[in-house]
Amino acid sequence: NAEMVEALSADELTELNFGRFVPGTTAGTIIIDATEALNRSQSGGVTIITASGNPGAGKFGIYGIASQVITVTLPADNTIKLSNATGDELTVAKFTVSNANPTLGIDGSAIVYVGGTLNIPDNQAGLTKGIFTGTYAVTFQHN
């Protein structure tokens, strides 16, 4: 016998957003933790502008069969670029997830958060100010 079931689906509920920053005299990073609460930090020469630019982790809703374990796969390190209107690029050094193997609840849903580390070059790199955007793929599959 065989049983056909509904396909697994997912929605991006909130975009991953590193917020506003100012590059410094040395390269640095901005880190967004994969949590519901905003936990953003910087290292190196970059300065983050506090409570500005709507920073936060990406939030994904996953929907399928109750009690199923799901595997979450993120992009490989340093493979995703954010670019601005003039073609300048920033690299996402690493993605993180709140739970790489969530179990769907009795309602058949789960929430996961995606964070990351953004590399910021020093202020001598000649980047044009503006909004840097990009896309990344997150894969959800049944175990």
Between 128 and 111, where is the model more confident?
Answer: 111
The CB-side HSE value for 105 (13 A sphere, CA atoms) comes to 7
| Cα 9 from Cα 50, distance rounded (Å) | 35
Q: Give residues with Cβ within 8 angstroms of 3, minimum separation 6.
A: none
pLDDT category, 20, cuts 50, 70, 90?
very high
Length of the chain: 143
At residue 136, does pLDDT exceed 70?
Answer: yes
Amino acid at 99: N
Q: Choose among 95, 91, 90, 60: nearest CA to 74.
A: 95
With H, G, I as helix, E, B as strand and everything else as coil, classify residue 35.
Answer: coil
Q: Are 72 and 140 in contact (CB under 8 A)?
A: yes
Supply the pLDDT for residue 53. 81
Supply the pLDDT for residue 77. 96
119: enclosing H helix or E strand: strand 109-120
Q: Give residues with Cβ within 8 angstroms of 73, minimum separation 6.
A: 138, 139, 140, 141
Supply the pLDDT for residue 131. 94
